[in-house]
Amino acid sequence: MRYDEIVDRVRAGGGPVNKVEAEALVQSVAAVLGQRLTGAQAGRLADHLPEELRRSLIEADQGQRFGAVEFLGRVAQREAMGRTGEQLRVHVRAVFGVLAEAVSTGEFEEVLDQLPADYEQLVSVAG
């Protein structure tokens, strides 16, 4: 999936309607996800994504352990769009939903395996 398709799908799937805001969100989620994943997993995920996201994933200080609340806080800090907690949660969920579409099911499941249970509220892509 091309980068512009990812951004457009995030916009259509519950993310920010504004393209600039959607791009900032997608980049922020990729960078913070890169911080959370191990280097090997971040690299495997990056191999399935466009260059614009690949850099964000693999240039992060990887393998950090933090929960979903911290994940949201880090995304909010990076994107600096002033979203409320619920707005941000919905928008991040939209990004994860598109990432699940952009990579193979097996690859996305490997990503999920590295995340603790409290991330379920963010990565639930059903419904």
Per-residue pLDDT averaged across 108-122, rounded?
93
Question: How high is the pLDDT of residue 114?
Answer: 93
Query: What percent helix, strand, coil does the chain show, rounded to 5?
Result: 70, 0, 30
pLDDT in tens, 19-32: 999 999 999 999 99
Tokens standing for residue 18: 């504004």
pLDDT in tens, 6-22: 999 999 999 999 999 99
Q: In the chain, what percentage of residues exceed pLDDT 70? A: 98
* CATH code for the domain defined by 3-123: 1.10.490.110
Q: How far is CA 52 from CA 27, 59, 83, 107, 108, in A?
A: 8, 12, 24, 19, 19
Ordered by start, the domain boundaries in the chain are 3-123
Per-residue pLDDT averaged across 99-120, rounded?
93
Per-residue pLDDT averaged across 67-87, rounded?
88
Residues 6+ apart with CB under 8 A from 108: 99, 100
Whole-model pTM: value is: 0.93
